[in-house]
Amino acid sequence: MKIRNFSIVAHIDHGKTTLSDRILEDTGTVAKRKMTAQLLDGMELEKERGITIKAKAVRIKYKDYELNLIDTPGHVDFSYEVARSLRACEGVLLLVDASQGVEAQTVAHAHLAQSLGLKVIPVMNKVDLSQSDADLSEEQLWEILREPILAERVSAKTGMGVDHLLERIVTDIPEPKGNPNGKPRALIFDSFYDPFRGVIIYVRMFDGSLKQGQTLRLMGGGLTSKIEEIGYMTPQLVKCGGLNMGEVGYIVAGIKDIHSVKVGDTVTLADNTADEPLPGYEETKPVVFASIFPIDSPDYPLLRTALEKLNLSDSSFSYQSEVSKALGFGFRLGFMGLLHIEIVKERLEREFNLSLIATSPNVVYHVKFTSKKSHPQELSALRDAGDGYKVIDNPAYFPPYGDIIDIKEPTITITIVTPVEFMDGVMTLLKEKRGTYLEMEHISNMRVIIKYIMPMAEMVIDFYNKLKSVSKGYASFDYELDEYRSSDVVLMEILIHGEPVDALSVVTHKDKAQTQGRALCEKLKELIGRQMFEIAVQARVNGKIVARETIPAMRKDVIAKCYGGDITRKRKLLEKQKEGKKRMKSIGSVDIPQEAFVAMLKID
Ligand code: GTP
């Protein structure tokens, strides 16, 4: 059997999952009657949102070839999944929606694939649409790739052109190279936890072979364990006797300790150990942090177990226990981006049946401050960032303002691809967001690639929606971390009823503090709503109150009515309260709804 391993990469919504589905159907991998749309987006959440979150691998039989297709997500928050998948492949299909043209992630993926030395096959998708312009999109792609590589033209929807594409895959993508009889080496590119069988490892064989019954060794983790089952994905797990050089498949080895398996590690044999592991993956570093707390405090141990399990299928988020004065026991989580936060929170709630409160996300700061005996213990436990700076990923751990010498914030190089007519609007937005111009490049007459340096914090707060609105939805962006730079940022505390609530603190730029403070207090007033007594909501920066709102007490007649004799009304009220409780936390005697903790995201 001849093997071809490839991935499909594209900007979000350009049709990767639809194309994968079509290939599975056309090759008879999945019978037509069993075919459901978006088959590879197996996670309920993926189907609902119509996006791919996890990369997936499928073995396809095509003529006398064994094709291994690895579907990857397109959203920028999940680019690490793409990089991971590509390391298991020899080629990529670089898919472009011909009705949209080249977008920011097309550029990023194209460059990544080229830098890894992979064979790139450009594919123009959605040619069935009357507004598609495959010639123009192809021309744009040539400029990005800096060479004219003929593109395939397909409609993943109707199946047009897919046969031709399959032929191109087997002729153009090179077969895997490695030593079929050497000491076995397999790269772990993914893993997940099965409650009955333990950790299931997804591997790509680079040398030798692995068979059921042998004892494997993880070269980095050191663990040894008997291979109970080995096989491939269709995408269901299908048992087979073993995996040979070049193949992609899964291994079950009764591993219950979820910490012993890491993606990027090399699997070999205990009695025929490889001399060198495969080059691993670069460790992903979370860039935004937020805290989560169980609504019902006794759920804390459940939340811990849930995080451990979820971390196995998504190792790119980090977590650490945290105690908040306001919200009690919870965890501080590090993520790859905003969508990532939403996805992790939703998966925790759905897959583990938890009810959670999340706080506003923020970036990581490097802070230099005078150390004093009076500081709380947390400050001395902070990690070093070099040059006398400490790493602070939680506003609750900012030192008292008088002790701060300097604060550095992370910046990003942001790449925006936009039609020329929206260029001015996009550049005005970047300026508002404290951006600094770097360079600009025209691709075809219609599109332009703009590069800026910008504080990452400005991207966290509502950048995506604003970019979409100034460009009528046509601009797209991608970013890379740049460096930490000194900046006039300040901690803004929120006081409810005169008491600072740590989980509501945010970090913002000095020049924006007053306006944001006002907007935030107004928003909180609206979200918290009237309660039995009057409540003051204040924003404080460097010891000074910069904004204040007062929430008046509920009118007496409303309360009287509620506590009257009408039993159905009382029951209704109780039910309402119960429902409300799901998404509320009481701080002191004030009930604060979940939305209040992320109010910062909703203001300018
Ligand atoms: P992510 O995984 O979230 O990055 O998206 P994706 O690239 O996998 O895109 P997906 O396959 O979910 O397709 C996005 C949308 O485009 C869906 O509504 C598809 O039905 C539609 N679509 C995909 N291919 C075609 C095509 O060839 N023609 C037409 N008309 N629509 C298509």
Q: Residue of the nearest CA to atom 5 in ligand 1?
A: 13
Residue 274: DSSP 8-state: -
In a domain, 158, yes or no: yes
H or E stretch including 240? Answer: none
Q: What integer pLDDT is reported at residue 580 of this predicted model?
A: 47
pLDDT band, very low/low/confident/very high, at 313 (cuts 50, 70, 90): confident
18 with 155, same domain: the answer is yes
Q: Specify the number of domains making up the chain.
A: 5
- Ligand 1 centre to CA of 550 (Å) is 49
165 with 194, same domain: the answer is no
Q: To test the ligand 1 pocket, which listed residue (8, 12, 14, 18) has its Cβ within 8 A of the most ligand atoms?
A: 18
Q: Residue of the nearest CA to atom 26 in ligand 1?
A: 126
**CB 149 within 8 Å of CB 118:** no
Neighbours of 26 (CB within 10 A): 16
Least confident window among 336-340, 356-360, 488-492: 336-340
Of ligand 1's atoms, which has the minimum distance to the CA of residue 125? 27
Range of the domain at 247: 185-269
205 alpha-carbon distance from chain centroid: 27
Q: Tell me the β-bridge partners of 443.
A: 447
Q: Report which of residues 604 and 184 the model is more confident about.
A: 184
Q: Report which of residues 42 and 386 the model is more confident about.
A: 386
pLDDT above 90 (res 115): no
pLDDT above 60 (res 397): yes
Most confident of 279-288, 341-350, 587-596: 341-350
- Ligand 1 centre to CA of 598 (Å) is 31
Q: What integer pLDDT is reported at residue 566 of this predicted model?
A: 57
- Ligand 1 centre to CA of 51 (Å) is 9
* Phi, then psi, of 281 in degrees rounded to 5: -95, 150
Task: Tell me what the pLDDT averaged over the chain comes to.
Answer: 87
Neighbours of 208 (CB within 10 A): 21
- Ligand 1 centre to CA of 156 (Å) is 8
Of ligand 1's atoms, which has the minimum distance to the CA of residue 41? 2
- Ligand 1 centre to CA of 57 (Å) is 18
Which of 487, 509, 534 finishes a domain?
487
92 with 131, same domain: the answer is yes
In a domain, 283, yes or no: no
Q: Residue of the nearest CA to atom 23 in ligand 1?
A: 15
Q: Residue of the nearest CA to atom 22 in ligand 1?
A: 15
* Average pLDDT value for residue range 524-541: 92
Task: Give me the CATH number covering residue 236.
Answer: 2.40.30.10
H or E stretch including 319? Answer: strand 318-324
Q: What integer pLDDT is reported at residue 599 of this predicted model?
A: 82
- Ligand 1 centre to CA of 252 (Å) is 33
Percent composition of the chain: helix, strand, coil (DSSP 3-state, to 5)? 30, 35, 35
- Ligand 1 centre to CA of 14 (Å) is 5
Interstrand relation of 506-509 and 544-551 (parallel, antiparallel or unpaired): unpaired
- Give which of 573, 523, 578, 581 is closest to 551, Cα–Cα: 523
Q: Is 262 helix (H, G, I), strand (E, B) or coil?
A: coil
- Ligand 1 centre to CA of 106 (Å) is 15
Task: Give me the CATH number covering residue 436.
Answer: 3.30.70.240
295 with 394, same domain: the answer is no
CA distances from 567 to 470, 532, 564, 574 (A): 53, 21, 8, 10
Which of 439, 458, 487 finishes a domain?
487
99 with 53, same domain: the answer is yes
**CB 80 within 8 Å of CB 336:** yes
477 with 544, same domain: the answer is no
In a domain, 574, yes or no: yes
Q: Residue of the nearest CA to atom 14 in ligand 1?
A: 13
Q: What integer pLDDT is reported at residue 55 of this predicted model?
A: 46
In a domain, 178, yes or no: no
Q: Which two tokens stand for residue 218?
A: 């993880």
- The rounded distance, in Å, linking the Cα atoms of 541 and 521 is 13
DSSP string, 524-586: HHHHH---SS-EEEEEEETTEEEEEEEEPPPPHHHHHHHTSS-HHHHHHHHHHHHHHHHTEEE
Residues 6+ apart with CB under 8 A from 330: 291, 292, 293, 294, 300, 303, 321, 322, 323, 324, 357
Determine the longest span between alpha carbons in the chain, in angstroms.
Answer: 85
pLDDT above 80 (res 528): yes
- The rounded distance, in Å, linking the Cα atoms of 298 and 301 is 7
Q: Report which of residues 478 and 290 the model is more confident about.
A: 290
* Average pLDDT value for residue range 87-101: 94
Q: What integer pLDDT is reported at residue 73 of this predicted model?
A: 55
335 with 248, same domain: the answer is no
Of ligand 1's atoms, which has the minimum distance to the CA of residue 37? 20
Q: Within 319-436, where are the H helices? A: 338-351, 377-380, 423-432
* Average pLDDT value for residue range 315-340: 87
Q: What integer pLDDT is reported at residue 329 of this predicted model?
A: 93
Q: Report which of residues 82 and 44 the model is more confident about.
A: 82
Which of 339, 359, 379 finishes a domain?
359
Interstrand relation of 404-419 and 447-455 (parallel, antiparallel or unpaired): antiparallel
- Ligand 1 centre to CA of 53 (Å) is 14
In a domain, 506, yes or no: yes
Of ligand 1's atoms, which has the minimum distance to the CA of residue 155? 27
Q: Residue of the nearest CA to atom 16 in ligand 1?
A: 15
Q: Residues within the annotated binding site? A: 13-18, 125-128
The percent of residues in the chain predicted with pLDDT above 90, rounded, is 55
159 with 199, same domain: the answer is no
Q: To test the ligand 1 pocket, which listed residue (13, 106, 343) has its Cβ within 8 A of the most ligand atoms?
A: 13
* Average pLDDT value for residue range 341-359: 89
In a domain, 343, yes or no: yes
Amino acid letter, 258: I
- The rounded distance, in Å, linking the Cα atoms of 463 and 104 is 15
Q: What integer pLDDT is reported at residue 52 of this predicted model?
A: 45
In a domain, 180, yes or no: no
CA distances from 362 to 92, 260, 340 (A): 35, 30, 13
Q: Residue of the nearest CA to atom 3 in ligand 1?
A: 51
- Tens of pLDDT, residue by residue over 24-57, are 889 987 766 555 554 455 555 545 544 444 446 8
43 with 154, same domain: the answer is yes
Of ligand 1's atoms, which has the minimum distance to the CA of residue 46? 3
- Ligand 1 centre to CA of 76 (Å) is 17
Task: Give me the CATH number covering residue 150.
Answer: 3.40.50.300
207 with 230, same domain: the answer is yes
**CB 384 within 8 Å of CB 358:** no
- The rounded distance, in Å, linking the Cα atoms of 283 and 83 is 12
374 with 482, same domain: the answer is yes
- Ligand 1 centre to CA of 13 (Å) is 5
Least confident window among 33-42, 215-224, 265-274, 406-415: 33-42
Residues in contact with ligand 1 by the CB-under-6-Å rule are 10, 12-18, 50-52, 73-74, 125-126, 128-129, 155-157
- Tens of pLDDT, residue by residue over 117-144, are 999 999 999 999 999 999 999 999 999 8
Q: Residues within the annotated binding site for GTP? A: 13-18, 125-128
- Ligand 1 centre to CA of 46 (Å) is 13
**CB 136 within 8 Å of CB 446:** yes
The percent of residues in the chain predicted with pLDDT above 70, rounded, is 88
* Average pLDDT value for residue range 442-455: 91
352 with 469, same domain: the answer is no
* Phi, then psi, of 99 in degrees rounded to 5: -90, -10
Task: Give me the CATH number covering residue 334.
Answer: 3.30.70.870
Of ligand 1's atoms, which has the minimum distance to the CA of residue 18? 11
Q: What integer pLDDT is reported at residue 581 of this predicted model?
A: 47
Of ligand 1's atoms, which has the minimum distance to the CA of residue 158? 27
- Give which of 157, 209, 156 is closest to 182, Cα–Cα: 209
Q: To test the ligand 1 pocket, which listed residue (7, 8, 17) has its Cβ within 8 A of the most ligand atoms?
A: 17
Residues 6+ apart with CB under 8 A from 205: 178, 184, 185, 186, 243, 244, 245, 246, 247, 248, 249
In a domain, 260, yes or no: yes
**CB 477 within 8 Å of CB 76:** yes
DSSP string, 44-107: HHHHHHT---S-EEEEEEETTEEEEEEE---SGGGHHHHHHHHTT-SEEEEEEETTT---HHHH
